[in-house]
Amino acid sequence: MILLFGVGVASVSSLAPDALAAGKTATSSPGLSQAVIQKTVRAKFDELQKCYDDLDDQPPLRVEMHFVVGPDGKVKAGYVESVVRPAMAPCVERTMFALTFPRPAGGDVSVVYSVDFKP
């Protein structure tokens, strides 16, 4: 079972250069609303669930997707943190990089999206 934990977005231009790597976010963005981000990611929950289901065991865990949506609406950079099961990160990254959003107003948008998984 996937449980949404939270989403934070901020315009990349409003963050310090190391903000994406540090996971710092604001709560709103002029480029993409949280509702649009949630809808887009939730459309891929079946693929995210498969990443979890493919683990040898399914402990409760959280993954954080850190990514940048470019002006064309495609994910142009990012990484996944999965502390409990680091081997799950490459599968989640494939899904993350396949996300396509509406073109954001104002350029690049940085997103941190956390997802909780439970057996």
pLDDT tens-place string over residues 57-91: 889 998 999 999 999 999 999 999 988 888 899 99
DSSP codes, 49-117 = HHHHHTSSS---EEEEEEEEE-TTSBEEEEEEE-SS-GGGHHHHHHHHHT-B-PPPTTS-EEEEEEEEE
pLDDT value for 46: 92
pLDDT value for 69: 94
Q: 30 pLDDT band (50/70/90 cuts)?
A: low
Per-residue pLDDT for 19 more than 70? no
pLDDT value for 29: 55
pLDDT value for 34: 87
CA 72 to chain CA mean position, Å: 17
Per-residue pLDDT for 40 more than 50? yes
Phi-psi region of 115 (alpha: psi -120 to 50; beta: other; left: phi over 0): beta
What is the rounded average pLDDT of the residues 11-29? 35
Per-residue pLDDT for 41 more than 90? yes
User: pTM for the full model?
Assistant: 0.76
